Amino acid sequence: MKKRSMLPQPVRDFLAASRDRHLAELFELLSIPSVANVADGSCMRAAQWLLRRLEGLGLSARIVTGEGQPNVVAHLHVGDDRPALLIYGHYDVQPPEPLEAWQSPPFQPQVRDGVLYARGASDDKGQLYAHLMAIEAWQRAGGGVPVNLKMLIEGEEETGSPHLEGFFAKHAEELAADAAVISDSEFFTDGLPAITYSLRGLAYVEVTVRGPAQDVHSGTHGGAVRNPLNVLAGLVAALHDDRGRVTIPGFYDRVLEPSQQERAEWAKLPFDEAAYAASLGLEALTGGEQGWAALERRWARPTLDCNGMIGGYTGPGAKTIIPASARAKLSMRLVSRQNPREIVANLDVFLHRLCPPGVTVEVQLLSQADPVLLATDSPATHAARESLLEAFGHPPAMIRCGASVPVTELVQRLLGLDAVLMGFGLPSDNLHGPNEHLRLEQLWGGSLAAAAFMHNLAARLR
């Protein structure tokens, strides 16, 4: 292992002195309601904001439009003797609903008690912004960025990056790099940084059951007309057995169990199940398959969750109808060698087989991502370890994550590169829910880690 050198003091000083301005700038980005699902031009506004900011940092940047929301691509060549680093982030955010559950409006950022509240504060605008701060610090106070930079800032991560594979196929040469870093993950727990070396994959579908041509009276017709909503509930229910296992044929065929060594290491992590449950407002963690520890169920076992369901009358009071149709959004988190395409095909056949006569069922794929397992001994991983230690004062844990970041698998498969997942969020940031937030200390530490990472990577790959 090479000797580690510290981040130059002027870079540190610059970051420390720029906090107010940096926070004001991040507020601008967080104020743009760039939900990928919503076609109101907000995503383009966020992309344009990033374009201007990257150009201001001396990068050559452009917006690439095509299918779906625009991507931002930027470059900075500092020397042929320097390694090339690809930095990935995403500017799109989850839909903010339910709005009434937010203490301050999701797109009006607010700092309360040293915590920044906004949709995207942690996922992923804040974490992405840490890299922009780091680039600026190197450019203005450190004698220039110590690596050749390539940046890809995506606009559809939260909808499963449906167009990113095509984008990578088209721009593989341009995006080729010696290392890649993704900051869209989190610490293991408060005070314990982490490098995430495995992500679950995703298969996300919408299931629609259709019955009568329109809503009909449930008194007059009830007992004769099969009810699409009852059928859909039955289909969703049939996807688990009474031990919490998913019943789709072949679902577990390609699942690799974690090694005994991995399980033993996870068991040593400071995971307080009761505290974790309490942080979610729960008495106990009762989801998932029986026979596996909670961390194992979150990291190494596949799941199937209903993310949304609607049908019939949902307003106040009673309305006595059999609805014409009902819809459910279902997502499966996949592990090791499960293949989302195969699993969706099996689900489709299974639901058609289960669907009773008198109604029809349709399965529509909304997004998919392959699970990914990353190398843990690459130069980039070592550089990330050093950087997190320097920035946060504690060496990182090596962990898995139950979520998906589709770009990770694409970088691996299409660029031949194992990215390092160096995240600055905390598990309590409430990603995807109301009152998403990022502690400012994590943001400032993230900018130090991002700056140190360029430095440490340059040293390791020079």
Hey, which residues between 30 and 59 contact a copy of itself (CB under 8 A)?
36-37
Beta strand pairing call for 397-401 and 194-199: parallel
Q: Which of 229, 347, 372, 397 binds a copy of itself (CB under 8 A)?
A: 229
Please, which residue, 216 or 384, has the CB nearer to a copy of itself? 216
As given in the structure block, the two tokens for residue 201 are 């994959």
Q: Is 258 exposed, middle or buried (0-12, 13-18, 19+ CB in 10 A)?
A: buried
Q: What minimum distance in Å lies between the beta carbon of 393 and a copy of itself?
A: 25
Distance CA(80)–CA(76), nearest Å, equals 11
Please, which residue, 230 or 378, has the CB nearer to a copy of itself? 230
Q: What minimum distance in Å lies between the beta carbon of 84 and a copy of itself?
A: 30
Distance CA(447)–CA(135), nearest Å, equals 9
- Using alpha carbons only, how large is the chain's radius of gyration in Å? 23
Q: Which of 281, 353, 377, 416 binds a copy of itself (CB under 8 A)?
A: 281
CA-closest candidate to residue 222, choices 210, 233, 211: 211
Please, which residue, 430 or 442, has the CB nearer to a copy of itself? 430
- Spell out, one character per residue from 93 to 132, where the chain touches a copy of itself: x when CB under 8 A holds, - when not: -xx-xx--x-------------------------------
Q: What minimum distance in Å lies between the beta carbon of 313 and a copy of itself?
A: 4
- CB–CB of 372/202 below 8 Å? no
Paired strand residues for 400 = 198
As given in the structure block, the two tokens for residue 105 are 């409006």
Q: What minimum distance in Å lies between the beta carbon of 340 and a copy of itself?
A: 13
On the CB side of 207, how many CA atoms lie within 13 Å of its CA? 34
Please, which residue, 144 or 427, has the CB nearer to a copy of itself? 427
Beta strand pairing call for 179-182 and 84-90: parallel
- CB–CB of 405/156 below 8 Å? no
Q: What minimum distance in Å lies between the beta carbon of 170 and a copy of itself?
A: 23
By CB under 8 A, the residues from 345 to 384 that bind a copy of itself are 356-359, 366-367
Q: Which of 269, 345, 403, 461 binds a copy of itself (CB under 8 A)?
A: 403
Q: Where does this chain touch a copy of itself (CB under 8 A) — which range of 173-181, 261-269, 303-311, 408-416?
A: 303-311
Which residues does 418 contact at the CB level (< 8 Å), separation at least 6? 180, 374, 375, 378, 380, 411, 412
Please, which residue, 162 or 396, has the CB nearer to a copy of itself? 162
* Residue 267 touches a copy of itself, criterion: CB under 8 A: no
Q: Where does this chain touch a copy of itself (CB under 8 A) — which range of 80-88, 256-264, 317-325, 372-380?
A: 317-325
Q: Tell me the number of residues near a copy of itself by CB under 8 A.
A: 99
Q: What minimum distance in Å lies between the beta carbon of 436 and a copy of itself?
A: 10
DSSP 362-404: EEEEEEEE--EE--SSSHHHHHHHHHHHHHHSSPPEEEEESS-
Please, which residue, 62 or 432, has the CB nearer to a copy of itself? 432
Please, which residue, 60 or 286, has the CB nearer to a copy of itself? 286
Q: What minimum distance in Å lies between the beta carbon of 182 and a copy of itself?
A: 15
* Residue 337 touches a copy of itself, criterion: CB under 8 A: no
Q: Which of 130, 180, 232, 343 binds a copy of itself (CB under 8 A)?
A: 232
DSSP 93-140: B-----GGG-SS-TTS-EEETTEEESTTTTTTHHHHHHHHHHHHHHHH
DSSP 259-283: PHHHHHHHHHS---HHHHHHHTT-S
Q: Which of 69, 189, 387, 404 binds a copy of itself (CB under 8 A)?
A: 404
Q: Say which DSSP state 459 is in.
A: H
As given in the structure block, the two tokens for residue 32 are 């743009």
Q: What minimum distance in Å lies between the beta carbon of 448 and a copy of itself?
A: 25
- Spell out, one character per residue from 425 to 454, where the chain touches a copy of itself: x when CB under 8 A holds, - when not: --x--xxxxxx-------------------
Q: Where does this chain touch a copy of itself (CB under 8 A) — which range of 171-179, 300-308, 340-348, 448-456?
A: 300-308
Please, which residue, 27 or 252, has the CB nearer to a copy of itself? 252
CA-closest candidate to residue 429, choices 122, 89, 158: 122
CA-closest candidate to residue 419, choices 435, 408, 404: 408
* Residue 289 touches a copy of itself, criterion: CB under 8 A: yes
* Residue 320 touches a copy of itself, criterion: CB under 8 A: yes
- Spell out, one character per residue from 158 to 197, where the chain touches a copy of itself: x when CB under 8 A holds, - when not: xxx-------------------------------------
Please, which residue, 1 or 224, has the CB nearer to a copy of itself? 224
- Four-residue CA torsion sign, 208, 210, 215, 220: negative
